[in-house]
Structure 1
Amino acid sequence: MRDDGAAAPWRTPEFTERLRAVAEERHHDRHPFNLRMHQGELTGDQLCPWIANRFHHQRHIPVKDALILARFDDPALRRARLRRIQDHDGVRPALDAVAASLTELPASGPVRTRTAAFERPYPWIAADGLAYFRTRIGQGGCDGEEALAPVRAWARTREQQERAVAALAFKCDVLWALLDAVERGGTG
């Protein structure tokens, strides 16, 4: 506790571990729809809505991220985060937006699993259609690690740290809800 009664900030390793735990435990790859997709148990009618959702989700991320980057006053930060324009940052304050992108921390494994799953039981998916996922195998984890540094630097108080963890948890909930919607829509 600090003198003013506020909780003291977590030390960097504890804060980092809390963020990593949320990303791992609540990652949308644990959703039943994704599990069935990875096992090759979906029909084309079930998988196509997910593909359409994912396409539109990814298509609009650069616009959203460009708006977030435009709010950064520091040119060095804009340059460092420019590659993130293809990834998920959210539309909240910079700390919350970048913290939300930490869903990428465990991304390499799930994307590798998803890509392999598409190649086996879904032969009707064109090989060039998997190019995006193949590039994400290495990029996802890198994006997450890049986002971790500014989140740790910006979250100086316990309140800011808790906000960052909450933003990441919220993003996990949103991705889970998107899969709920796709699953319900795709199964009739």
Structure 2
Amino acid sequence: MATARAAFEARLRAIGDERYHDKHPFHHLLHSGGCSIDQVRAWVINRYYYQSRIPMKDAAFISRVEDPALRRAWRSRIEDHDGTATREGGIARWLRLAEAVGLDRDYVASARGVLPATRFAVDAYVRYVRDEPLLKAVASSLTELFAPKIHAERIAGLLENYAFATPETIAYFRHRLDEAPKDVAFGLGWVLNHAVTAADQDAAAAALTFKTEVLWSQLDALYSAYVAPGNIPPGAWRPGDGIVA
């Protein structure tokens, strides 16, 4: 049994090794200092849409959970992003980053400039977690297993290469290094405990694969619109829009 559990965990981790978006060309460009300020702005605007929908996704998940212990464990994820009456959350920290790169925070929060493909992918993820069985919904969150590495690389790369980057303006990523491990430990343990059949394990692996595709597709759209070939679709952010006067 222990051997089967370890093999299943290794299978999940292999999905991240192959498919996680830290391998996407846009991230290599960003972390190496190769992005222009407008490319960084486009990333901030589009990533905000994803960040803003995470607590909505988690609230939809909790609304379906009958087990109070699971609801209690999951609730902190919403507070990590939304904050509390006494503690700032990840969404507010992301808007601070937006201001640091010269964007108007109200423009970013409005999501008016979000790429259609970003909106499509993120909304699909929210629906997935809302509608699919709980095992698949939890398993889709396990991209968190691979997030600490990309956050550490991003912190180092942004601080080294961009004038806007300070410990205060990129605080979102530093906080995720502290917040994510508890979510990873709980989510992974829950999936390993509940994916007891081969069919369960296949479903969980498929859910994690789906989530990596959600993340990868967002960067594909960003690269196509703002790096190469540079085809910005109608309605999406264009350099010069939403800039603080």
**Size of the alignment, in residue pairs?**
179
Q: Which residue of 2 aligns with 1:132?
A: 172
Distance in 2 (CA, whole Å) between partners of 1:145 and 1:30 is 23
Q: Which residue of 1 aligns with 2:17?
A: 24
Task: Determine whether 1:93 maps to 2:86.
Answer: no
Higher normalized contact order (CA 8 Å, seq sep 6+, divided by chain length): 1
- Kindly provide the CA deviation profile for residues 116-159 of structure 1, in whole angstroms up to 9, marking residues without a partner as x: 11112111246433111110123223322220111112212111
The residue identity in structure 1 corresponding to 2:71 is R
- Kindly provide the CA deviation profile for residues 60-89 of structure 1, in whole angstroms up to 9, marking residues without a partner as x: 110111110111101011101212335788
The answer to whether the Cα contact below 8 Å between 2:136 and 2:207 also exists between their aligned partners in 1 is yes
Task: Determine whether 1:104 maps to 2:97.
Answer: no
TM-score calculated relative to the size of structure 1: 0.88
Task: Determine whether 1:13 maps to 2:53.
Answer: no
TM-score calculated relative to the size of structure 2: 0.68
Distance in 1 (CA, whole Å) between partners of 2:43 and 2:219 is 8
Q: Which residue of 2 aligns with 1:82?
A: 75
SS in structure 1 of the partner of residue 33 of structure 2:
coil
Q: 1:172 aligns with which of 190, 212, 218?
A: 212
Distance in 1 (CA, whole Å) between partners of 2:69 and 2:224 is 44
The residue identity in structure 1 corresponding to 2:198 is R
SS in structure 1 of the partner of residue 161 of structure 2:
coil
State the Cα distance separating 1:57 from its structure 2 match. 0.9
SS in structure 1 of the partner of residue 210 of structure 2:
helix
Aligned pairs for 1:30-109 within 5 A = 30-85=23-78, 86=80, 90-91=129-130, 92-109=132-149
Alignment identity in percent? 41
The residue identity in structure 2 corresponding to 1:158 is A
State the Cα distance separating 1:93 from its structure 2 match. 1.9
State the Cα distance separating 1:37 from its structure 2 match. 0.7
Residue segments in structure 1 that go unaligned for 5+ positions in a row = 1-9
The answer to whether the Cα contact below 8 Å between 1:115 and 1:134 also exists between their aligned partners in 2 is yes
Distance in 2 (CA, whole Å) between partners of 1:14 and 1:138 is 27
Residue segments in structure 2 that go unaligned for 5+ positions in a row = 82-124, 231-245
The answer to whether the Cα contact below 8 Å between 2:58 and 2:74 also exists between their aligned partners in 1 is no
SS in structure 1 of the partner of residue 22 of structure 2:
helix
SS in structure 2 of the partner of residue 83 of structure 1:
helix
